[in-house]
Amino acid sequence: MAGNSFGQIFRITTFGESHGPAIGVTIDGCPSGIIIDEVFIQSELDRRKPGQSRITTQRKESDTVTILSGVFEGRSTGTPLTMLIPNEDQRSKDYDHVKASYRPSHADYAYDQKYGFRDYRGGGRSSARETAARVAAGAIAKLFLNDRGVRIQAYVSRVGAVQLDIPYNKLDLSLAEENIVRCPDTKTAERMIALIDQTRKEGDTVGGIISCVIFGAPAGLGEPVFDKLHAELGKAMLSVNAVQGFEYGSGFEGAFNKGSENNDAYYTDEAGAVRTRTNKSGGIQGGISNGEDIYFRVAFKPVATIMQVQETVDQNGNSVNVVGKGRHDPCVLPRAVPIVEAMAALVITDHFLRNQMYKS
Amino acid sequence: MAGNSFGQIFRITTFGESHGPAIGVTIDGCPSGIIIDEVFIQSELDRRKPGQSRITTQRKESDTVTILSGVFEGRSTGTPLTMLIPNEDQRSKDYDHVKASYRPSHADYAYDQKYGFRDYRGGGRSSARETAARVAAGAIAKLFLNDRGVRIQAYVSRVGAVQLDIPYNKLDLSLAEENIVRCPDTKTAERMIALIDQTRKEGDTVGGIISCVIFGAPAGLGEPVFDKLHAELGKAMLSVNAVQGFEYGSGFEGAFNKGSENNDAYYTDEAGAVRTRTNKSGGIQGGISNGEDIYFRVAFKPVATIMQVQETVDQNGNSVNVVGKGRHDPCVLPRAVPIVEAMAALVITDHFLRNQMYKS
Amino acid sequence: MAGNSFGQIFRITTFGESHGPAIGVTIDGCPSGIIIDEVFIQSELDRRKPGQSRITTQRKESDTVTILSGVFEGRSTGTPLTMLIPNEDQRSKDYDHVKASYRPSHADYAYDQKYGFRDYRGGGRSSARETAARVAAGAIAKLFLNDRGVRIQAYVSRVGAVQLDIPYNKLDLSLAEENIVRCPDTKTAERMIALIDQTRKEGDTVGGIISCVIFGAPAGLGEPVFDKLHAELGKAMLSVNAVQGFEYGSGFEGAFNKGSENNDAYYTDEAGAVRTRTNKSGGIQGGISNGEDIYFRVAFKPVATIMQVQETVDQNGNSVNVVGKGRHDPCVLPRAVPIVEAMAALVITDHFLRNQMYKS
Amino acid sequence: MAGNSFGQIFRITTFGESHGPAIGVTIDGCPSGIIIDEVFIQSELDRRKPGQSRITTQRKESDTVTILSGVFEGRSTGTPLTMLIPNEDQRSKDYDHVKASYRPSHADYAYDQKYGFRDYRGGGRSSARETAARVAAGAIAKLFLNDRGVRIQAYVSRVGAVQLDIPYNKLDLSLAEENIVRCPDTKTAERMIALIDQTRKEGDTVGGIISCVIFGAPAGLGEPVFDKLHAELGKAMLSVNAVQGFEYGSGFEGAFNKGSENNDAYYTDEAGAVRTRTNKSGGIQGGISNGEDIYFRVAFKPVATIMQVQETVDQNGNSVNVVGKGRHDPCVLPRAVPIVEAMAALVITDHFLRNQMYKS
């Protein structure tokens, strides 16, 4: 109801503010018997953590995760699984200048309108730091899915004007982790990195697109009519900080085509499986997965905190100027790749379990 | 859980198949005391109903709504409000040819995979006929919102290659209802209609974009971190048949800009209200409405049923051909305008009520 | 949220008022493939309907159920299953005398306080007529459970001072349906019937206890810590009109015993199954079924409508007298037996499906 | 879904096992602006903690609570409020003897059946230690309710055969905290204490009844038809470890009376308020509070762990004996008083907020 939980069966609740003692997450509905690989969970957090390369914020946080409950002798018990990530590199005074003024295109003003007051330090609850908890929970979901042959891979496909035009199935997606911008095409990656470098020097920020592919999802996932699989994926992605667009399959471009161009013909392959000749549907038809690859694209706006003077007002409505201080990302996309994967893993795991209700 | 309910407080559950006795909807959580204007509810359904113009399907259904419960002496009582819409123009035999074969890019195959079998007549539950129930519920939500100064207006902004490039605040949106394609710019409307006419003659279909604006929503709506207002709007829209993309505010295009270009500066207007000079944020910051206009765009794929021969398989995996029969829409967008508005009204009403929990 | 839905996976929403056009229920989450025996559903409603014997109200309603959706070719499709029961014998004028006054120990005053106004005809939504919708949904749940070897049997074990002291496992429960009070012991049944007859002649009403046994439920049902199986059964029963007490297993009496008297020792039976020598736990330990019989008792207060002059106030707080009019039950217990069974069936079915989430 | 959350708007999720690093609770939906009195929260935990008197277990745990999130400058922020209680006095080896065997009338066997395996140390998740998290959350709810004039008071009204027969409104309930058994009548308290002392010496345990009164709750709380206020209170109480019965108002005894005896006549008092002359309804009519005192009784079974030899089986079904080890309560009731109050506070707070949805 208050919006801090996600999922129906594999249900997570995140908690914690940017500058409190810790952030964390509880998974209620985690099946028992999953082997909990803590090294893997930490490695996922490392992909998201600040300070990992020169194109991210230089804040230093180890983002070390501790499991508080729900695991016994290395396996999930079926009881609530809580993970805690202490906050370390808190420079609350970096935020004194925004205590009373509203940063443009941040959540400050809206939070004050809604709750009456706010923890202003580092954005408090509205900080993207909260997504570390999602990544931890998503790692558990990935462990669950790995055992069932489902693999999720996201990558940066656009930064500002620099776009990767090659479709996912012509790329070696494993290369995405080989460079600091997480783009699987080396040349495009270099251009993206150069653009981010330049943007940071200008005290500005830049947005872009993350593409994501889900391989190996079985047919039958998704609950029409409201909880269509792509509607759930869309909500999951749009709930991530800075996201302002989502499309799946042929997306916006496909909308401009004719039906005869956008339809996917069925055929039976040599192994006797029903397949589609094309996959404009992005692996989802009528809101239910059909066994083909699921793919979608997520648009991230440029980070709102810039190192330039901006006009704004204070809590009394007086006109003031604000300039970004502290250490911020010129482009969130490289660090957002594991977040997109985590949210996708949470949705697929939840629907995997939801779909089991029909197996009676 | 099974996906047929939407909303947390103002919660609707739709039921019914395309070719069963009726479809309908129950609203649980409708506040008491709303004056229920049945003429208005019917007029909303009339905007969605088939056969309303030459560019829609020629099926004839009056879509007459009956209220079964929750209203006494013209006002809502606070108890479940159920509305029923009988199915009339059912030509089940139009679907005998698809009983055993899977229509390309329809839900047929996915439903069989999920549920084991399906009501194949007219798509059964996967038919867009279900959206009539959403429009009826959305009409109640609009009555609630009207009393609170909130107004919602959607319109067709693109059909195939024909795009309306004028921003919403330079248009007279009331003109949208003046033509059969529901585009507020007369010249563009004519080009859209011509394109749909031509597409129908080719036995083909065409997609496009519906834009929607919400005027008068108060600041404070939306529940971070997962139920951000735009995430809820996104899910609502993506749950509508044929939708494959959603963006709000500056959307995908804004993602390619710099932070300095995409940020909205705050100022205090002459009336003393805090406002933003631009509205790239689409009226939502940090997932919470900030009092500015909320606007978003929804991409609809071309209708999957085309009057052309298509390759597919039957339930046994044998290769067969299928040709669309019956009476179908060459373009769903004109009839989808009230659906988009209804889903928006449901989201805003639900969050209006959810936001009240903080007023204690 | 607004209280008209019950269950998490097998989720029902009831709607309708006593004197509106109809009452009904939608089941969302009904598994596909259940053979829907309409004759059985109707027979369950017949056990609850008014006018079935001389000790119930003499109102005449056929309570004929119609299925609107979710069933195709005799089987559930997995889509929402809606059933409608038209209201027939409505004598709204029987209630003119209570339009403005509050009947003692009825919901009238509380509804007015909550909703601002109410449909006063026959109690409107607060009428026990709503339970007919529960019985219809419970019949579907029974069909589901029958296929899995689960059988539910309730019976009247006390009316006023007349109590059946024989434990359930010493009784032939099938005899409960052989007499009009639904007590499986013939002699006790006769005494109960005599007491109800006498009470009706006095213009008074009488309460009592319904006992219920669930045979064949597998071990593993119930979700600790809050959704313990007995907590869910307790809520289900307490949600039925006129219920004011619930106990399971050794109940209140067991609470007065020593641990050494109340514990159930485990042993392995000849078939190799782990069993308990006694069953003070009522088949539930730690909130989870253990495979033994589940049994509980439900206390119903005497019906509030009596044919005697009672002191009360009107909507303006003025002192007035009220006398029951119309045709009312002197004792609800005989008609409540199928309601208790229906609610138990809904709980067990829901938890049967919930428990499947762990089977991955 | 998995049962570790409670409440709809003021929603708590508890986590943690008896012998893990910590237990805790997250409240999602806590209104902003509540002054968080940490001393009060700790004092509530102190009422529940082990070792507080000679008639409780002699385990020593300080049960020190830490707030991790959701509070800023002493007030709730409206974001998730998480509290942590580290586990201290863990003697896991006390449980080695039950690692492979099932303690009679404990959750051991049922957990194994449900989850496949279990954290056997101290009962793991099934331990009543989990209720400390409920008490912490309940303390926040009490702070919310105190500001609104609602006060909740529970007390022990029966231990084994020793019963307090004086109705609550003839007692000075504040005396309940003056003795170690928490019974407001000094003489009865002494007899209860003597009985518990004796029972402990016998290596046995004893159950009883806790009564609870809610003063000052406004009319209008409760959501018919399924979430009636007493149904929600009933579920809350039945979800507490060892509870096997619940009744409200005139309860089981009232069920045996005539309607003319059990009805509550309305009148208008000198201040112009509508009141009832008696309160057999326990402050709830039609599932909605009517402004009178709400009262109910909760039956607790004797603790299952006894210091006597008991017959049972091990995981392989072999017959074994088990004897209680460690430090256990001979009677849980004195420590359960704050748990009953906490659960009541959670229900009333949640329904207070739920009722606000109608205030639009």
Q: Which of A293, A332, A357, A341 is nearest to A129 (CA)?
A: A332
- Segments in C118-223 forming alpha helices (H): 131-146, 186-201
Q: Which of B11, B10, B81, B2 is nearest to B41 (CA)?
A: B81
pTM of the predicted structure, to 2 decimals: 0.97
Q: Taking CB atoms and an 8 Å cutoff, what residues of chain C touch D2?
A: 223, 357
Q: Taking CB atoms and an 8 Å cutoff, what residues of chain B touch D1?
A: 1
The 10s digit of each residue's pLDDT in A6-28 is 999 999 999 999 999 999 999 99
For B242, the closest chain A residue by CA position comes to A286
**Across the interface, which of C9, C17, C82 has its CB nearest the CB of B15?**
C82
**Across the interface, which of A21, A116, A124 has its CB nearest the CB of D68?**
A21
Query: Alpha carbon B308 to chain centroid distance?
Result: 27
**CA separation for the pair B301, C196 (Å, rounded):** 66
pLDDT at C359: 61
Q: Which range is least confidently modeled, A273-282, B112-121, C337-346?
A: B112-121
**Does the beta-carbon distance from A357 to C9 stay under 8 Å?**
yes
pLDDT at A345: 98
- Closest chain B C-alpha to D299 CA, distance in angstroms: 34
Query: What ipTM is given for this predicted complex?
Result: 0.97
Q: Which range is least confidently modeled, B350-359, D10-19, D242-251?
A: B350-359
Given a contact cutoff of 8 angstroms between Cβ atoms, the answer to whether D27 and D81 are in contact is yes
Q: Residue B119: pLDDT band by 50, 70, 90 thresholds?
A: confident
Given a contact cutoff of 8 angstroms between Cβ atoms, the answer to whether D334 and D56 are in contact is yes
- Stretch B50-64: mean pLDDT: 89
Given a contact cutoff of 8 angstroms between Cβ atoms, the answer to whether B331 and B237 are in contact is no
Given a contact cutoff of 8 angstroms between Cβ atoms, the answer to whether B214 and A228 are in contact is no
Count the neighbouring beta carbons within 10 Å of the beta carbon of residue A147: 12
Given 3-state DSSP classes, what are the helix, strand and coil percentages for chain A, each rounded to the nearest 5?
Answer: 35, 25, 45
**Does the beta-carbon distance from D302 to C224 stay under 8 Å?**
no
For A227, the closest chain B residue by CA position comes to B3
pLDDT at A359: 60
Q: Which are the contacts of B316, defined by CB distance < 8 A and separation ≥ 6?
A: none
- Residue D121 above 90 pLDDT? no
**Does the beta-carbon distance from D79 to A125 stay under 8 Å?**
yes
- Residue B19 above 60 pLDDT? yes
- Mean pLDDT of the residues in chain A: 94
The 10s digit of each residue's pLDDT in A102-155 is 999 999 999 999 998 888 888 899 999 999 999 999 999 999 999 999 999 999
Q: Which of A357, A235, A222 is nearest to A290 (CA)?
A: A222
Given a contact cutoff of 8 angstroms between Cβ atoms, the answer to whether A137 and A346 are in contact is yes
Neighbouring chains of B at 3+ CB pairs under 8 Å are A, C, D
DSSP-assigned beta bridge partners for residue C296: C212, C248
* B24-B13-B224 Cα angle (round to 5): 145
**CA separation for the pair B294, B219 (Å, rounded):** 11
The 10s digit of each residue's pLDDT in B263-294 is 999 999 999 999 999 999 999 999 999 999 99
pLDDT at B89: 67
| Token digits of residue A190 | 């270099």
Q: Residue B360: pLDDT band by 50, 70, 90 thresholds?
A: low
pLDDT at C1: 86
**CA separation for the pair B299, B238 (Å, rounded):** 9
| Token digits of residue D2 | 């998995």
| Token digits of residue C244 | 């004011």
What percentage of residues in chain D have a pLDDT greater than 70? 97
- Residue B101 above 70 pLDDT? yes
Architecture of domain A5-358: 4-Layer Sandwich (3.60)
Q: Which are the contacts of C39, defined by CB distance < 8 A and separation ≥ 6?
A: none
- Stretch B241-262: mean pLDDT: 96
Q: Taking CB atoms and an 8 Å cutoff, what residues of chain C touch A359?
A: 356
- Residue D360 above 60 pLDDT? no
pLDDT at C194: 97
Neighbouring chains of D at 3+ CB pairs under 8 Å are A, B, C
pLDDT at B68: 97
Q: How far apart are the first and last CA of chain D?
A: 30
Any long-range contacts for C63-66 (C-beta under 8 Å, 24+ apart)?
C63/C132, C65/C38, C65/C41, C65/C136, C66/B21
- Residue B10 above 90 pLDDT? yes
| Token digits of residue A282 | 């992005």
The 10s digit of each residue's pLDDT in B300-328 is 999 999 999 999 999 899 999 988 877 78
Q: Which of D282, B136, B9 is nearest to C4 (CA)?
A: B9
pLDDT at B284: 98
- Residue B334 above 70 pLDDT? yes
**CA separation for the pair C30, A358 (Å, rounded):** 8
What would the 3-class secondary structure string for chain B be? Answer: CCCCEECCCCEEEEECCCCCCEEEEEEECCCCCCECCHHHHHHHHHHHCCCCCCCCCCCCCCCCCEECCCEECCEECCCCEEEEEECCCCCHHHHHHHCCECCCCCCHHHHHHHHCCCCCHHHHHHCHHHHHHHHHHHHHHHHHHHCCCCEEEEEEEEECCEECCCCHHHCCHHHHHHCCCCCCCHHHHHHHHHHHHHHHHCCCCECEEEEEEEECCCCCCCECCCECHHHHHHHHHHCCCCEEEEEECCHHHHHCCEHHHHCCCEEECCCCCEEECCCCCCCEECCEECCCCEEEEEEECCCCCCCCEEEEEECCCCEEEEECCCCCCCCCHHHHHHHHHHHHHHHHHHHHHHHHHHCC
- Residue A91 above 80 pLDDT? no
Count the neighbouring beta carbons within 10 Å of the beta carbon of residue B74: 10
| Token digits of residue C195 | 């007491």
pLDDT at B92: 63
For B34, the closest chain D residue by CA position comes to D360
| Strand ranges, E, within chain D | 5-6, 11-15, 22-28, 66-69, 71-72, 75-76, 81-86, 151-159, 162-163, 208-215, 243-248, 266-268, 274-276, 284-285, 288-289, 294-300, 309-313, 319-323
- Residue D144 above 70 pLDDT? yes
**CA separation for the pair C168, A6 (Å, rounded):** 44
| Helix/strand/coil for A113 | helix
- Residue D123 above 80 pLDDT? yes
H or E stretch covering C238: helix C229-238
Q: Taking CB atoms and an 8 Å cutoff, what residues of chain B touch D357?
A: 9, 29, 31, 353, 356-357
Q: Taking CB atoms and an 8 Å cutoff, what residues of chain B touch A1?
A: 8-9, 223, 354, 357
Q: Residue D94: pLDDT band by 50, 70, 90 thresholds?
A: low
Whether the CA torsion B272, B274, B280, B282 is positive or negative: it is negative
Q: Which are the contacts of C198, defined by CB distance < 8 A and separation ≥ 6?
A: none
Q: Which are the contacts of B303, defined by CB distance < 8 A and separation ≥ 6?
A: A259, B205, B207, B242, B328, B329, B330, B331, B332
pLDDT at A360: 52
- Closest chain A C-alpha to C22 CA, distance in angstroms: 26
Q: Taking CB atoms and an 8 Å cutoff, what residues of chain D touch B353?
A: 357, 360
Count the neighbouring beta carbons within 10 Å of the beta carbon of residue A142: 25
**CA separation for the pair C113, B72 (Å, rounded):** 17
Q: Residue D323: pLDDT band by 50, 70, 90 thresholds?
A: confident
Q: Residue B88: pLDDT band by 50, 70, 90 thresholds?
A: confident
> For chain C, which residues score pLDDT lower than 70?
89-94, 97, 358-360
CA atoms within 13 A on the CB side of B140: 33
D63 by Cβ neighbours in 10 Å (0-12 / 13-18 / 19+) ranks as: buried
Q: Taking CB atoms and an 8 Å cutoff, what residues of chain B touch C2?
A: 9, 11, 28-30, 78, 80
**CA separation for the pair C179, C190 (Å, rounded):** 9
Q: Which are the contacts of C304, defined by CB distance < 8 A and separation ≥ 6?
A: C103, C104, C105, C106, C205, C242, D259, D263
Which residue in this structure is represented by tokens 């998503």? A138
Q: Residue D358: pLDDT band by 50, 70, 90 thresholds?
A: low
Q: Could you tell me the residue ranges of all domains in chain D?
A: 5-358
The 10s digit of each residue's pLDDT in B210-234 is 999 999 999 999 999 999 999 999 9
- Stretch A233-242: mean pLDDT: 98
**CA separation for the pair D291, A289 (Å, rounded):** 52
pLDDT at C303: 92
